[in-house]
Each structure stands twice: as C-alpha cells, then as structure tokens.
Amino acid sequence: MANRRAKIVELNEASIAFGETGKMEWQEALSPKARYKGDDVYDIRDLVASIDYYESIDSPFLRCDIAIVDSIDLYKQIRGKEVVKLKITTESSDSDPLEVIFRVFKLGSFIKNERAAMYILHLTSHEAFLNEANRIFGAFGPCEKHKDKVNFPKYVAKDVLKGGEKVKAVNFENHSKLCFSAPNWRPYDAITYLGDKVLRLEGGGKRSAMQSGFLFYENRHGFNFQSIDKLCTQEPLNIPTYTYMQAGVETDPIKEYFKIESISFPDKVNHLEKLRSGLYKTSVLGISVPAVSLSHMPTGSSSEGSEKSTEVKRTNFTTTYESTFDKASTIDRGRPFQQTGFDTETQPATRYKFRIMPTWTHQSSIGSDPDGGTKTKFDTLSVSSYAVARYALLNAIQLTIVVPGNTTLAVGKIVKVSIPASRTDNSKDVKQDRVYSGKYLIASLKHIYRKEGMTTTLYLTKDSIREDK
C-alpha cells in the first residue's frame, strides 16, 4: 500500500515569506493573484520532512505542523507571523487540491548538529492572531442599535477577524435573535456564547422547533457557524463511501482510494463518560434575580407584595436521553442504544448547568421585538438543556479510520462507512455491521504527508443507527 500511496500525492507548493512580504496585507495574501516580491520568499519543499494538517469542529482555526530539516540556516530569519503557503494534490482529488495559507506562531522541537537543524514549524490561521489581539465590548441584538448585524457570528468572522473570502453566507446558519452584552470578550468567546442560547430558524421538519446547539469552526472551505442538527441532516452530492476489506483482496484502482487501511473504536463502551456528559439526563437551573429600582432591604414579612418581587427564584428544566433523541434531527432514525442502564424517571440528573435568567425572554424566532416571541422562561432553559444533551448525543458512536490521502475531505461533512458484520449466515451476501456502518459526521481530520505518501485520519461520530428492517 505504501507504493500506492506514493503515487497519489504531490507537494505542489511549500513556501515561506519573510520581511515585508510576510507583513503584506492579509487580503492580498489570500488572493490567488498575490505575488511575492523580492528575495525574501523561499521554496522549502526540499526542506520539508513531514506535514501534519488538522481540522476539527471543536476548533475555530486550522492548525498545521511542518517538520523541517534545515541545512541553509533558514531558522535564523524566523521571528513569528511569517506567511506559509501550502498546496497538496492527491490523485483521487487532483481537481480539488488542498491550498492553505498560514502564519507561523511557534518554532519548536529544535535540534542542531553540524550538518543541519531539525525543528517543527507550528502554524495556524491568520485569524487566530486577530482573535488574541482584539476584544468585543458592547451590547448586541435586536434590543440595541446593532440591528443590521442579524447574524452575529458572521459579522465577527468578517469584520473583526477579517476573514475575507473565508466568510460565506451559506456557511452561517440563520438563528433566532438574542440580546446580550459582550464584556471585553475575545471574538471566538463571543461567538461560542451564542452556541447554546439561539434557536434554529430553518429545517427540523416534523421535529420540534426548539433545536439549539451550534458550532463555530474552520475547515478548508472557510468559517462555519452551524447547528449540530443541520450538520447531521445534510445531503451533499457524491458522498464518499469508505470500505473495510480483508487484507490482500484485489480491487480496482478507484476502490483503492476509498479503502480503509485501519480502524479503531474509541470509547466503544464508556458508561461513565455518558453519565458525566449528561447524555442520559441533564438539568438546567435558571436563577432569576429581579432588578430593584430603589435600595430596599426585605423585612421578611409576607404582607408586602413589593418585597416578594425581590426574592431570588430558581426554575428547573430537565432533558432526558429519550426526549432529546425524539426532538433531534439525527443522521439516522435508530437509537444508538436501547438500554442505557439509567432510570431517567427516578434517578437525578448527572449533569447540572446554571443559567441567570434575563429580565425578558430573549429567544425570539421572528421579528425584532426584544421581548421575544413567547413569554415563558422555560424557553431559555429548554434551549440550553437541549444543547448540552445534543452535544453529548452527537458522540454516541465514534469511529477512527485511516484512509489514503484525500484533500477533498473537510470537517463538518458527511461520509459513509461500510464495515462487514462479524457474524455471517450461509448466504453469499456479506451483511454490513448495523451499528458501525452507515453515515458519519467528520468531527476532525488529520492529513499526514510524508515523502513516501500521504494518509488521512478521520475521527468520525454519529448520533444514531439504521432502524431495524
């Protein structure tokens, strides 16, 4: 297989820019028409020993580690923030190569001998620097002057992080409006604050409209702000199917591109993790602290209604595994496990979250009324409770596979996996494993480039299985 891999990968470009070129306007660097000037740009393809490229739905920015064998003392010019361009093509995806631009943020694992220096260039997206260097302060939402910022995550990614061509409207799901204040947060923190508080406005079908749980991440196509429910129900064209076969089985060259080289099952049975994550039962406690216009000390008397209004009140909302699954828009419709060993009726919640209740209900699905579409405080609690349980449900079934390098893959997309069942009957047809075969969401991936070839490690997850026929 190593020989096969060697034929399907090519490092088309690996260059680093120093000095004034490294300080060029970022939008210029992102442009395909950009051209480096002067002698401060080096082609480092011959110096590259390996490249590890990372994407994850849990990470707002791309990461990359390049192992360098430096015989020309290139490291003496590295100060950080240098521009690095990469282009990698695989035979299975030659029409859609991986083209990315990074900034250097760290030089690590440095080893020097008489002939060369060996070190790791740690790279990340340019926007990661802007995330650390900028803060968001102020009030946002329909109740404030920022009514033009309908999609707050899109506004932050475009105007604060300067994402440019990485910010596409189609990758930012519309959501309910929310009035909130950002007290000098990093841009990424301000976006993730909305993740378990806003509602989907589209999709859901016959499912409940109270779907939440949003993720902000970057993949090779740019920035994304999508709900878990939307990611799990996407139906993209040409979904690749990766098949696990016996070693030594001859296949045609095309099938070799989509052959699973190795497979593992992380957390195949982890009851404690499911308890701790709140998958079986989650409770959100809402605490109401009424505003008091005048200084007032309660006397403890129950005769004055005004004193009752100053009492701190607590409201509880609980979500169970069964109710979450019935509400969610899942990849398939079969429950990932029928028996949890946890009695949701009698046993207490295994995860608690606390939420300070707003002075008005801020889950507005339509219009710009700061009072929102409903008047019940359970909206805030149910949305938050569902989001916690939805995150946990997404990881109900996990799978890690290693496949031939494929640069078209990206996190947040769907792939199919075909794994033969361990038990077979006497029929000629090989049945698929009902639990571990089927569609998965790519939660994270790692492209591993070496001079002899390239592989892609996919960390897959799904929230459901195929229903029994």
| pLDDT at 374 > cutoff 50 | no
Please check whether residue 264 lies inside any domain of the structure. no
Residues 99-134 pLDDT 10s: 999 999 999 889 988 889 999 999 999 999 999 999
Please check whether residue 235 lies inside any domain of the structure. no
How many other CB atoms are there within 10 angstroms of residue 187's CB atom?
25
Domain final residue, candidates 370, 393, 416: 393
Largest CA distance in the chain: 88
| pLDDT at 39 > cutoff 50 | no
Residues 165-187 pLDDT 10s: 999 999 999 888 887 888 999 99
> Which contiguous run of DSSP H or E holds residue 231?
helix 228-233
The pLDDT assigned to 289 comes to 64
Please check whether residue 316 lies inside any domain of the structure. yes
List the domain range (segments joined by +) for residue 344: 279-393
Lowest mean pLDDT across 13-17, 298-302, 339-343, 455-459: 298-302
Full DSSP string of 290-356? ---SS-----S-SS-HHHHTTS-EEEEEEEEHHHHHHHS--SSSB-S-S--S--TTTSPPSEEEEEE
Cα-flanking dihedrals φ and ψ of residue 298, to 5°?
-60, 140
CATH of the domain at 53: 2.40.10.10
Full DSSP string of 34-80? ----TT-EEE-GGGEEEEEEEEETT-SS-EEEEEEEESS-GGGG--S
Please check whether residue 37 lies inside any domain of the structure. yes
447/457 Cα distance (integer angstroms): 6
> Which contiguous run of DSSP H or E holds residue 103?
strand 98-112
- Name residues whose C-beta falls within 8 Å of residue 215's C-beta, 6 or more positions apart in sequence: 57, 58, 195, 224, 225, 226, 227, 228, 231, 412
pLDDT category, 214, cuts 50, 70, 90? very high
* In 113-175, beta strands by DSSP E: 117-124, 136-140
Please check whether residue 335 lies inside any domain of the structure. yes
- Name residues whose C-beta falls within 8 Å of residue 11's C-beta, 6 or more positions apart in sequence: 45, 48, 51, 86, 87, 88, 449
Task: Read off the amino acid at residue 49.
Answer: A
The pTM assigned to this predicted structure is 0.84
Lowest mean pLDDT across 90-94, 210-214, 399-403: 90-94
352/54 Cα distance (integer angstroms): 32
Domain count, the chain: 2
Domain final residue, candidates 127, 145, 167: 127
Domain final residue, candidates 393, 415, 431: 393
Which residues partner with 450 through β-bridges?
Answer: 50, 453
Please check whether residue 20 lies inside any domain of the structure. yes
* Residue bearing the bigger pLDDT, 342 or 199: 199
Residue the block writes with tokens 């979450």? 324
